[in-house]
Chain A
Amino acid sequence: MLGNIWLSSALIVTAIFSASAMYKSYSDVQEAKQIQENYEIILEIKTLIAKQYNKNPQDVTRDEIIAHLPKGENWEKVLLLDRNKDSDLTNKELVNEDGDFEISEDEKLKLLALKAKLKNIMDVSTITADTTTKKYTFNVGENNKNQVLNDVEIEKSVNRAIHFLEIEILYSSKTVNQTMEKLLADTNKFIPYEQMYQDFRTVSEIASNKTFITPPELEDLKKRKQDYFKSKIKEKLELNETAIETKLYSNGELIIELEKKEVL
């Protein structure tokens, strides 16, 4: 009798453990699949935003993704590590504020699932965990953007800069020096450094395969880009497409400033 009870109890306990292990295994597989699904959804949204607003997909932030998601709390789940009821962006974020995927090295199965998904797109072996946060970060979206699209961005930036020159110099009585300082200041973001894909090396530098790595070299590259941007403004003013551009082009002081080289 006692033996039967013991055997039955043992069987029930084993069954419970087996069921729980099976459920855990099922749930892990589901979560692994969900990570892959989330990657697809986020990639689609990023591509859509990138196309619509002419941005690099990797520059699309989480807030921009949220602004594009349909309304309803369930959509939050595509930004999370799992789809549990109590998970939210404060405790289970998968997409970080920069719009990249971030997974802790403890989440081995999810990491494996994501790496499997990405193995044909990027070299996953080069992605390593941050030594302090112990998290892996994956870019979602292609890194490259068509140069034609970059040209559009550069042109838009030139137009904005010309408009700023008009308002400040022609109609707000600001000096050319003051305005040019503002135009070149990093905080004002008039110059689209990231979009300027052109080769800014001299012929001899190309021959010697020069690279810009150290801070002084990068500063030099930045100044070359500033010179290029100023030359694009001058080129546009030369076209004299509007009365305002013609007036700016007639401003000798401005033209001298635009011709002045930042690279000495």
Chain B
Amino acid sequence: MIKLFLFLIISFNFLQSETFQERQATLQDIKNIVQYEESFAKTYEQYILANYKFPPNVGTITTLMGGSVKAFVTIDDKVNVTTLTDGLPKINYALGDDLKADLSIKSLYESDTFRKRTYVRDSAVYFILEDSFAKHLFDLIKLNSGNEIKTCISTNSDKACIKDNHIYIDPTYTSSEITGYLMSYHIDKFKTGPIVVTNNSTKYTSEDVFKSIPTGALIYDIDGIKYIKTTTTLEVLK
């Protein structure tokens, strides 16, 4: 009985002990997971820039990346499959309970050491869009209630649409031609303007979309009056 007990203790200790190579392999896997998440963030951003829409599901991104996170690690049974929070640049926490229980591993995964555009908070991995146009598109897609920014045609009822490299907000049509809009600008000029806006000045404060125009941007209304965006509203330039 005592021998059996001793055998069990020795076996347990043997199974518990982790060799240097095993530790090193686990740490390398943690690094790979973080790198995977960094690549996920980059691919997500590229997807928005190329398609003017959010990826429909996590599989769209993982396919572009050549597989799920499990394909890039040796400890695949201890890693959670990536899930994407709908409409937000946020994926789930990758470490399973076993890995999370090792405080050193948890700390390395959550630290910013290997991270550039991602960070871990509230048990989720947030990723920052670095490209300013991608950020702008993200905001426009949100304005469209998560819908893709499609070509402007009279049957398209979305708030934002695109035509001839120009973004239109709330366009109105006459015989399929755009004859009015709340705002319009070339995609390369989204930061500085010129931005052409409606001549209905009450909209400047009532419509939230005007809050998105960067301070200092040059604005014209459709009658040619020149404005500049201040921190609170649009001011006429005299």
Contacts and interface: CB of A to CB of B under 8 A. Distances in A.
A244 B211 CA distance: 9
Contacts of A97: 104
Contacts of A170: 142
B175 to A, nearest CB: 32
In terms of DSSP, what is the predominant structure of the interface of chain A?
helix
A129 B31 CA distance: 35
Contacts of A76: 20
A250 B231 CA distance: 7
Interface in A5-32: none
A1 interface: no
Identify the interface centre among A63, A75, A156, A247: most chain B CB within 10 Å of its CB. A63
Nearest to B27: A67
Interface string A227-253: 000000000001011111011011000
A137 interface: no
A219 B136 CA distance: 39
B84 to A, nearest CB: 13
Interface string A76-90: 100000000000111
Contact of B31 (A67, A73, A238, A241): A67
A244 B138 contact: yes
A182 interface: yes
Contacts of A164: 121, 126
B34 to A, nearest CB: 10
24 contacts: A67-B30, A71-B24, A73-B21, A75-B20, A76-B20, A88-B19, A89-B20, A90-B17, A160-B126, A163-B128, A164-B121, A171-B88, A188-B121, A238-B231, A240-B214, A240-B215, A241-B132, A243-B135, A244-B135, A244-B212, A246-B211, A246-B213, A246-B215, A249-B231
Interface of B: 17, 19-21, 23-24, 27-28, 30-31, 87-90, 104-105, 107-108, 112-114, 119, 121-122, 126, 128, 132, 135-136, 138-139, 142, 190-191, 208, 211-216, 231
